[in-house]
């Protein structure tokens, strides 16, 4: 994945912390599959994306060490915590990530998002209840 594509993805996102964009721009800190996951979620529909506006709440530098949970978490650049900018679309966003974003392998639901735990199709993704902070954890392979 080119730096230009990473930058284009970042241009479509909002960030809650100054380290998050730097993490996503760095191939040494985040995996290509995570960028592809965000590209699918945020790019316009006319360009093969799902058109969601997203607020990134944690990537790697601003997340605690989760390496004990396996190789595909934040610590190794495979996961992101976020929130849809339009909260009214949360349930549909979660369904779309499970059914229409093939880059997503795990979805964690924290805080208010946990109410949708039973609404998310679990045919091709692992869905779990995360901590009590409002966020959606998306993980790639």
Beta bridge partners of 129: 109
Mean pLDDT for the stretch of residues 9-37: 97
The residues, ordered by sequence, that sit 6+ positions from 109 with a Cβ below 8 Å of its Cβ are 94, 116, 117, 120, 127, 128, 129, 130, 136, 137
Would you state the pLDDT for residue 41?
A: 98
Mean pLDDT for the stretch of residues 95-102: 97
Predicted model pTM: 0.95
Would you state the pLDDT for residue 66?
A: 87
Q: How confident is the model at residue 134 (pLDDT cuts 50, 70, 90)?
A: very high
């Amino acid at each position: 994945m080119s730096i230009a594509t990473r930058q284009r993805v970042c241009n479509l996102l909002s960030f809650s912390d100054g380290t998050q964009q730097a993490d996503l721009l760095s191939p040494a800190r985040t995996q290509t599959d995570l960028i592809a996951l965000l590209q699918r979620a945020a790019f316009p529909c006319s360009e093969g994306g799902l058109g969601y506006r997203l607020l990134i709440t944690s990537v790697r530098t601003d997340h605690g060490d989760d390496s004990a949970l396996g190789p595909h978490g934040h610590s190794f650049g495979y996961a992101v915590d976020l929130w849809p900018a339009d909260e009214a679309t949360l349930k549909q966003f979660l369904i779309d990530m499970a059914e229409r974003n093939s880059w997503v392998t795990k979805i964690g639901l924290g805080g208010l998002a946990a109410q949708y735990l039973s609404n998310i199709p679990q045919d091709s993704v692992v869905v779990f209840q995360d901590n009590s902070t409002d966020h959606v954890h998306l993980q790639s392979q």
